[in-house]
Structure 1
Amino acid sequence: MKLQFKFLVPVFLLFGAFFVLFFITDHRHSEKAMEQTILSQARSLDRLIRASRLVYHSEFLASDFSVNQQTQVFLPSHTMRKISEKLAELSPDNSIRFRSITTVPVNKLAKATRPEKRALDFFATHPQAEELFEPTVKEDQLYYQYFSPTYFHAYCNTCHPNTTVKDGDLNGVLSITLSAEHLRVQTLQRQNMALIILLASLALCGFTTIWLFRRLIHRKLNTLRAISQNTGSGNYDAAVSVGGNDELDDVILSMNQMSAAIAEREAEILKSHEFSSAILSNISDAVSVIDCESSKIVAANQAFLDMHNVTYSEAIGHLCHEVTRCQSLDNDSAKSCPGMIAASTKQPCRKERFRTTGDTISYFDVSASPINNANNTPVQVVRVARNITENKQQEAQIRKLAYYDALTGLPNRTLFHDRLSQALLQCERENSHGAIAFLDLDLFKSVNDSYGHAAGDMLLKVVAKRLMGCVRESDTVARIGGDEFLLILRDLKDRDSAVILLEQLIESIRKPITLNTEIINTSASVGLCFYPQHGTTIDDLLKCADGAMYDAKRSGRNTYTICD
């Protein structure tokens, strides 16, 4: 998407959001004003009806007429009903109507409507309420209904004697219905006109914004693009004249200056590259030169390209870490980059790095030395790498032979002693518990004599695997020689837990083992002691566990003994 669209679309959206918000606010304000107008009319009509009713009532009482069939037509309730009916006749469009509804209707035919019943219930449960005003729609026409309560007074007994009610009780409601259709049409017309004006304003603002953008920004952006294209193609002499003094003109001037600076630097780099290439081509180690400011490779010899399996174009001008894809042996790769350390400290740096390619891991010995300018500021770093994968593999093999049993892969005596020392330190530090188990296969020599040493070796591997399956990952199973195994069981506190584990070990080893076509039955004798109860040193614990193991053998083998 072009910049003008990225700029103009948010502007238009902002204008649109403003106009929509304005329109919605105006619409709500218009509806509120319409409601207030109709509410004011309803209140005025309510006061007029109540005043008329009081006047009729006062005049009737002042006449001293007795209430009978001839005079009851002059009662205020009858008179107001006739006025209501006449008003309905004079308003064929039903724009204005009113009714007086009592809790006990005088006229059985004049039943309260559902809204009027709801109003009666409302005032009965809300005695402090003075009015109820709500909209309603009838035959697609908008109306507002206004209800106000009427209460029974002592003088009402003159015309309507009723012993079941007392002064101040709810007597009924005065229901006034006013049509809002005329005001609603006027409001919609005004809102439509406002919408037309808003859309016209939005269009005018949009066209004005586009014109200003193209005049003040777009042309200068095209100039900047031309400078960038000239710089990218190596045409540094094609400077563009500046005809203004705003921020974009300053950027154009800076671009011209940058092109000139790039031309000078490119000439210097080219000269330096020719000199360095002659030296690098005769070095067997992987050598590269990295620019400190951009971290990009500016020179590399063939050994570097071969080591990282890239071409010259894939290396030069690219970031060093993207080409080498090397990682640090520690957790903080960025701080361990030899090039970055050499550039920041101005001192040579040497680190070991590794790279993963599929299932293959390669290790490199990397040294970096800074090249400083006249101000003693590093500008480049010379990186020399040597493949030490074979050395690492040999070290790993030696380390494995030093700490692990070659036959079973289990920790050997040395690693067992180290882990037991750590367990005892943890026990002392955290006041925890554990156990040591000494396991010896029963009659293992007969297996070697009967089936050969190869079968005996296979048997030891199977036993080692079964033992590992009986313990947790935090525990240690070690082979210390021959058919003897030692187990470190962390957090094993009580005798009951030990019995369960020991029985699992005995049962696991007791299962028949199939070697080639032969089925071999074997068993083991196990001795167990707890730390720190039976000792706090390695020698004491091993002596205790060894003694318990021999007690198990003397008890008939294929069993276990726990130190007392």
Structure 2
Amino acid sequence: MNTIKRQIQSLLPPLAAVVAVTLLSLWLYKMGGSKSLPALCLGNGICLAVLMHRARRGAVALVTGACCTIWLTNMAMGISVEESLVGALGNALEMGIALWALSKKDRATHLETPYGTKRFIIWALLVAPLVSTLAVFPWLILTGHPHSWETGGLRFVTHAMGTALAVPLTMEVLRWHREPGLSRRRTHRCAQALLGLIGASAIAFVQPTLPVLFIVFPPLVLLALTGNRRWVIAGIIAVATVGAVATAAGYGPIHHQAPLPAWSALLLQLCVLSCMSVVLPLTASMEQRRRLARTLRGSEARYRMLAEHSHDIVLLLDADGYCKYVSPAIQDMLGYPAVKMVESSLESLIDEKSQAIARELWTQLLQRKPPATALLTMRHADGTFRNVEATGGVIDEEPDRVVLTLRDVTARVAAEDALRQERLMTDVTLQVIGDAVFTLDRNGKLEFANPAGRALLDRSIAPNERTLEQQLPLWREGERMTQMHPACMALQSGLPEGPFLCALELKDETRHAIECSATPIRSSSEDVMGAVLVLRDVSAVLELSERMAHLAHFDALTGLPNRALLLERLDIALARAKHTAHHLAVLFIDLDRFKQINDTLGHGPGDELLQQVADRLLSVVKGADTVARLGGDEFVVLLPDLSDKSDAAIAATKALEMLSKPIRVGRRELQLSASIGVSMFPDDGDDADLLIRHADIAMYAAKRNGRNDYHFYTAAMEANAQKEFDLENALRFALMRSELFLEFQPRVDTSSRKIIATEALMRWRRPDGEVCLPDVFIPIAETSGLILGMGNWVLKEACRACKAWQHGPLKGVSVSVNISQVQFVRDNFLSFVMESLRETGLPPHLLELELTESMLMEPSESIQQRIAGLSALGVKLSIDDFGTGFSSLAYLRRFAIDTLKIDRSFVMHMTDDPEDASVIHAIIALAISLGKRVVAEGVETVQQATQLAALGCHEMQGHWLGRPGDVGQLAQLARHGTKSTTPRAAQG
């Protein structure tokens, strides 16, 4: 009941104000007629300001009372009941919309912030009047109001203007009691300014000129500068009263300037609103400055005495965090003068990492949540940082002031960090170290064990014993260590013990090799407080040492002796053979085509194969013999005691027979062969390295002579090896010096005898002028790997030459290039061909690549894709030396081969040997049936050419048709044509 009574009492003043405004409107109406109608809109603004101030408490009652008052006033002015009711309901809708938008969660939104002012303008002055006007507008149209559009527009403008005038003015009146009283002198000045304002208002509103209205602003501004909000509100009310009376009586510029009677009241409201917009902000600013000055003067007197002599920094900050007072201690602590820190933000001195902590501290201070203490990092004037402990609180008498004290704790924090870091490093070290670390007290009782130590304790043979030496007994030289335990010795003598090797006895395990050491722990008074015992497991180290010693002399894959051990044994065997005059043999064994097996099956099966080879070699030698592996597929057998060469030949034969037996690797059964080189002592050398090198040379001779055989070393072999080495070295320099060049041999159409293609042949002109043919250096290039670079050079040079001769007599003549297997199996071969064609500009159909049958026998997917890519590119493919390799109809059907080249060995004797002629006839018939072209190589006589033409051969190539030469010779031959009647001598 009391609550309802208090609410009713609180609503009486705003209702009284609304009644007063309506009575004023009624009085103005009686005096000036419709001029006073806009004054009714002030009631909406008064109610809205009261509800904003009260946070919507009593909104329904106040809005209802105000609307009823306005309704009754409208009827008293002679407006119909229906029109008055519609107007009252429109006012209620307008106030409801504005109140809903400007209040949120029962908290009033005042016109004291830019955001609040913006919302007030949008919702109270624009949206709410517009919505209420639109709601009333249909009624005006339905009732046939003569000026519905003008009335609606006037209603929107007057309501917006009235709200803009009434709300700020009412808000200031509601805050009247907050204004402090003035001194007698200021009160006297304010009274004089108010009287002057009233006189200026009377002059302004009785004369007919509109600009003269501005004479009210100087005395109004003077009143704002001299007084406070009370006096300013009184002045605004005085201006409004004088203007209303004069306008209602028919005087003044507003009465004369308004074409419609209702607009006069609207212009009066606009004038009053202009006065408010000028003086109210000015008054607020002046009052704020005066209040701040008074607060600062009082605060400074209270705090200065306590802060001046403190070693801590004392700060007085406002609610926004700006310094209002800074004690002199900041100069010593942070290096900043106190006077320069006043009115600056403390946040600028705080490190970015401490910003969040500072904001949390600030929130706690403002909310008065104890304890309000935080550790901050602040920037010193010299650029360094200080650790500062901040604490403070809010002054009860001045809630917008915060007192903050800063204490320099840099030294303390540094000491704590160092101690924490040291402890952390110690803990981490003890946790991750592999050694077992134990800490014992002065009586030998266990106090601490790291994870490695606890793992040993879990395997203790006596976990319930009191002391560590009983839980983990140590053995040394076959005796158990009791009194001589290193921990006991360190506790008794106070000196470090160890490190030394011993054995540790554990449960259900053999003894482990342990490196043991103990160190006493002393106090500050040098008394022994305990000891640290460290046990390091070195069993793995000892095992690894033995393992490394074994690996240093034995092969890791096969377990055979390696080169180092072989040389040691060979030196010993040589010394004994020299002393006893016995023979000694070294067999150098290399598996034939092992790389192909390794590349095809993989390294795993290849390693398994090498292990089986090692076992087989061990099975054919005697106990005194040595089988060693030098690396890869190279093995050496040392036969230290022989009578003559026949014994070495027998051993080599046994090795070849044993290695030639089928070997099963996984699911595959392989057939191996090997090449063996044999060197003898004393015939082939008396040095270990020399014997191995001579056996290696003999092994390569066996490989060159067909493999799967053994050869004894001879001096001629070394000469050939030296010759091949010199030739390989010269060939490397030939590539660098561009000594290689190309010659082209024509391919002639059998019917027309015209040149339709050429074959590019590589030549080597040595520095002495000698020209080497490919048969001399191509085998060396293939074994040394130089063939890849040479083949790429030939392909690109041949394309460039073919492109160049397309503008002369050789137009349309293609070029064929021999491709090595090393070059063809490269993954980038197809891209290199495309790059060569693109770089030289040669059309793909003018290039033919000659392959061997061995390249096509491997049915791998990569080979098929490579050939398919070349065919799709438009490059022609031919098989060189057809009939001499693994001829198969399968690859002719599977691959897109364009041409078959019959080897010269068949053509050479075809006129004398019917079998060769039959083979050629079969090849030509096969090619024609498969749609392939046939080229016969090595045509030297007219009889051969005539017989090939009769057999249906498409093309011929040989010295009788044209020798290899440069592009000029080839062009001359194309101009004059090939001679078919005069045989040509074979090239020497």
Normalising to structure 2: TM-score of the pair?
0.22
More helix by share: 2
- Structure with higher Rg: it is 2
TM-score, structure 1 as length reference: 0.36
